[in-house]
Amino acid sequence: MVAVRVKNLTKKFGSFVAVDHINLEVESGKILAFLGPNGAGKTTTIKMLTGILFPDGGGMEILGVKDPYPSKEIEVKKRIGLVPEEPKIYPYFRGYEFLNFIMDIYECDERTEERMEDLIGAFNIDYLDKFISDMSHGMKQKLLLVSVLMREPEIMFLDEPTVGLDAKSAKILKIFLKRLAENGKTVFMTTHILEIAERMADEIVIINKGKIIAKGTMEELRKQAGEEGTLEDLFLKLTGEEEEVKRILEELGK
Amino acid sequence: MRELKIFMKYGLFFIVTRRKKSSSKKTVLFGQIAVFGYFSVFTGVMMYSMLSKLKDIVINNMSLVDLYALYWNFLSGVFFLLGVIGSSVYVLSMNEEVEFLLVLPVRRWTVTFYQLFMAIFYDLPVFGMFMAVSVSYGLILGGLYPAIAVVTAIVHSLMLLTLGVYISTFVARKVTGSIARRIFIFIQAVALVGFILLLNFSMSSTSNDMNALFIKLSKIYKVLSSPFNIFGYAISSINKPSYIGVSLLLTILFGYLFVKESGKMGFVVVKGSAKKKVKYKRYARNYSIMMKDFKAIFRQDNSLFLLLYPYVFGAFMGWSVKDPLYALLVAVPISSMYALLEASQALLHDVSNWEITRSLPYTYKELISYKMFLTTGVNLLLSLALLAFTSFFGGFNPKSLWVLLIAANEFVMATSAGVYAVLSNPPKTENVSRELMKAPLWMSFITIGVTVGAIFGFGTLQKWWGLLIFIASMTSTEVLIGVYLRFSKKRFKDLIEGKI
């Protein structure tokens, strides 16, 4: 089953085209790494797929629901989860109140609460009685991850999920995501840490200047780039940044 | 000093970038100066006209001018200090800006001083009031006194400022951000009670028992003119120049303590709250959304002030004239303006955390309706409590129930204005208190104007023009509710379409 299908999706901010007629499909149970340089359109795409921003053109299908926003957004939002790039959460909540609120608003069952307790232990969250305004970036990031992972949504949109996490938590997250994908859940993830993408993703999509410039498995990307090497090498080559890196290094050498 | 100069430049720039593109550095600076000027002139004119009336009255060798000038100097001094502490404690907890500044190769006290300056920049109006009281007093005395009054006011505000920043730094070093916020709320509550008590003193001048009043005034004068009343120094030192020396010494002492304390400033959570076993209680979805908004409204730094001030003030006014209707007439217009701010505050949190808000499964209607319902409901309950309290002293007036109905209508209008204010100008920062200051002034004026019109018109219904004012105000209320809600929805749509 196709979890995410996107056709000619476009978003403009004034005359600037942030996302330019992109097409992609993500099968259920797969981990997709959505890569690109800063300002390439990754976050804007995720915002459109999660209903935060409405597209200016094209269409999408999320979990079989065609163009779900805004007509069927509640139905779809209950089945997906988002960890945004910036872990911004309501500062007036205490940690546990936020999780409680999430369970209520998603009308979660008792099993979710059990999973939540497990995740709290796994991520070593011992600050739930603190106000969110008093939490660090990493603390908030872990809280947000728990709030999404505990629900085990059918699709998880994770925008730079490992930023701010300690090594242990990042490792746990990676293992957890793999397991969820094995159980049929879909992970749509952006990351600048290409090693993570290389090791975890079933499929990689590279976007640059709002356009998808490459997609496929690691092997398929190697074929497209016409060279062997790490994802970092392929990424730089495909985004055209390889030459620029060489030039800058030469300049710096001088 | 070089570091500070660079920070100041950066800071003023920062304020500009947080505002609309059309704003310039000069506009922001002049805006603050204009507010300072407005408060100074307004208080100055009011003070001067009041003091002129009292200038020839001497009771038991006590000049009423001295007493009133001391009293207002004390009041504005206390508010200035509380304002400084209130805004400062809050900005000294860790935030993104501090995190960035701490990375730079600058001394810690510079970061602390800079943060405090940025906070105190917004306390200029209270400083204006403080200055105006002294200068008005100087003008009444005549001769060179106005110039001396300017000097004493500057010296004493410096003393209060250094005391304020020292206390803030000391407190912020010891407590977490949330405790700092509670301290801020506590300070506001103390200020509120203090204000009412002092108002009691003002109002007592209307008492018929003149002898008792004179004894009371003499006692108050003794306290206010005491050398230990540092809040009255700006006035006391005009007649006793030695106080200027004391003030300068205190400024140096507090300044030294501040530099010493700020050098150790951690900007981090020093004492985390003890780890407690947390308990989850499950609620129905709608109730949970409502409770979320309830917390957004009541856990704000200034919520206690915004909610209680109009009613405490109304209770006092109603109690002094023994008329519950009068209490409502005083409280409702002020609370309608504050209801606008309360609804704005709650929504500001949602829009500041837009990605998480939009990713949650709730609709636009759910996003705004609970905020409007809660703000209106709580204000209505407080109005009812005010009515009950004042009816106890002044007897029940059935007309008051109609005022409650009008108030409910005005609260709905005010909260819809609050919603529109946020959606028409979405926040650029996470600093809700600072964002709240960007609510358009015209909206507050319209809200208070229409409410006063409705209430005043209701009070004078027997006259044709009273009836006309009432009908016009009530019609305006309904039209405004419709307009605000309609445009809010449009702005919300623009927001999710990425147009704003």
The answer to whether A104 contacts B283, with C-beta atoms less than 8 Å apart, is: yes
DSSP characters over B48-115:
HHHHHHHTT-EETTEEHHHHHHHHHHHHHHHHHHHHHHHHHHHHTS--HHHHHHHHSS--HHHHHHHH
Q: What angle do CA B91, B94, B97 make, to 5 degrees?
A: 75
Task: Tell me which chain B residues have a C-beta less than 8 angstroms from the C-beta of A84.
Answer: 355-356, 359
Q: How many CB atoms lie within 10 A of CB B239?
A: 12
Q: What is the mean pLDDT of each run of 10 residues along chain B (500 residues)?
A: 73 46 52 70 79 81 82 79 74 64 75 74 72 87 86 87 85 71 69 63 56 74 82 82 88 89 66 65 91 88 75 74 82 88 91 92 92 96 92 84 94 95 83 65 84 89 92 96 96 86
DSSP H or E run through A59: strand A57-62
Which contacts of A165-168 are long-range, i.e. CB under 8 A and separated by 24 or more positions?
A: A165/A138, A165/A141, A166/A138, A168/A124
On average, the pLDDT of chain A sits at 92
Reading the block at residue B285, the tokens are 């979805």
Confidence bin at A12 (pLDDT 50/70/90): very high
Residues of chain A with CATH 3.40.50.300: 2-79+155-219
Closest to A133 (Cβ–Cβ): which among B177, B284, B291?
B177
Amino acid B195: pLDDT: 62
Task: Tell me which chain A residues have a C-beta less than 8 angstroms from the C-beta of B356.
Answer: 82, 84, 88-90, 144
Cα separation values, B353 from A46, A48, A106, B429, Å: 16, 17, 18, 10
Find where tokens 């623009």 sit: B494
Chain B: residue whose CA lies nearest to A156: B359
Mean pLDDT for A86-96 is 91
Q: Is B348 helix (H, G, I), strand (E, B) or coil?
A: helix
Domain A2-79+155-219 has CATH 3.40.50.11710: no
> Which residues make Cβ contacts (< 8 Å) with residue A189, sequence separation at least 6?
A31, A32, A33, A34, A156, A157, A158, A159, A161, A177, A197, A200, A201
φ, ψ at B56 (rounded to 5°):
-100, 0
Chain B: residue whose CA lies nearest to A80: B359
The answer to whether A103 contacts B358, with C-beta atoms less than 8 Å apart, is: no
The answer to whether B288 contacts A97, with C-beta atoms less than 8 Å apart, is: no
Task: Tell me which chain B residues have a C-beta less than 8 angstroms from the C-beta of A143.
Answer: none
Cβ atoms of A129 and B275 within 8 Å: the answer is yes
The answer to whether A92 contacts B177, with C-beta atoms less than 8 Å apart, is: no
Closest to A104 (Cβ–Cβ): which among B288, B352, B497?
B288
The answer to whether B295 contacts A113, with C-beta atoms less than 8 Å apart, is: no
Question: pLDDT, tens digit, for every residue of B332-365?
Answer: 988 898 899 899 989 999 999 999 999 999 899 9
Longest dimension (CA), chain A: 64
> Which residues make Cβ contacts (< 8 Å) with residue B405, sequence separation at least 6?
none
DSSP characters over B260-312:
HHHTT---S-SSPPPP---------HHHHHHHHHHHHHHTSTTHHHHHHHHHH
Picking from A93, A137, A124, the residue whose alpha carbon sits closest to that of residue B94 is A137
Determine the distance in angstroms separating the CA of A176 from the nearest CA of chain B, rounded to an integer.
Answer: 22
Mean pLDDT for A32-48 is 94
Q: How many CB atoms lie within 10 A of CB B94?
A: 17
Task: Tell me which chain A residues have a C-beta less than 8 angstroms from the C-beta of B359.
Answer: 50-52, 77, 81-82, 84
Strands A2-13 and A186-190: unpaired
Closest to A129 (Cβ–Cβ): which among B273, B296, B362?
B273
Reading the block at residue B148, the tokens are 């001396």
Chain A: residue whose CA lies nearest to B432: A91
The answer to whether A104 contacts B284, with C-beta atoms less than 8 Å apart, is: yes
List the single best residue of A19, A78, A93, A104 to mutate versus B (max B Cβ within 10 A).
A104
Chain B: residue whose CA lies nearest to A134: B177
The answer to whether B178 contacts A97, with C-beta atoms less than 8 Å apart, is: no
Closest to B355 (Cβ–Cβ): which among A84, A100, A105?
A84
Closest to B353 (Cβ–Cβ): which among A90, A96, A99?
A90
Strands A155-159 and A186-190: parallel
Cα separation values, B297 from A96, B306, B340, B496, Å: 19, 10, 12, 24
Determine the distance in angstroms separating the CA of A74 from the nearest CA of chain B, rounded to an integer.
Answer: 5
Cβ atoms of B137 and B69 within 8 Å: the answer is yes
The answer to whether A127 contacts B284, with C-beta atoms less than 8 Å apart, is: no
Amino acid B15: pLDDT: 46
Strands A186-190 and A31-35: parallel
The answer to whether B497 contacts A126, with C-beta atoms less than 8 Å apart, is: no
Cα separation values, B139 from B44, B47, B132, B148, B275, Å: 10, 10, 10, 10, 59
CA distance B425 to A90: 19
Cβ atoms of B100 and B111 within 8 Å: the answer is no
Task: Tell me which chain B residues have a C-beta less than 8 angstroms from the C-beta of A105.
Answer: 285, 288-289, 360-362
Q: How many CB atoms lie within 10 A of CB B9?
A: 11
Question: pLDDT, tens digit, for every residue of A188-230?
Answer: 999 988 888 988 999 999 999 999 999 999 888 888 888 788 8
The answer to whether A81 contacts B299, with C-beta atoms less than 8 Å apart, is: no
Determine the distance in angstroms separating the CA of B495 from the nearest CA of chain A, rounded to an integer.
Answer: 8
Amino acid B192: pLDDT: 64
Q: In angstroms, how far is CA B224 from the centroid of its own chain?
A: 25
Amino acid B16: pLDDT: 41
Least-confidence region, from A102-116, A156-170, A223-237, B88-102: B88-102
Amino acid B18: pLDDT: 43
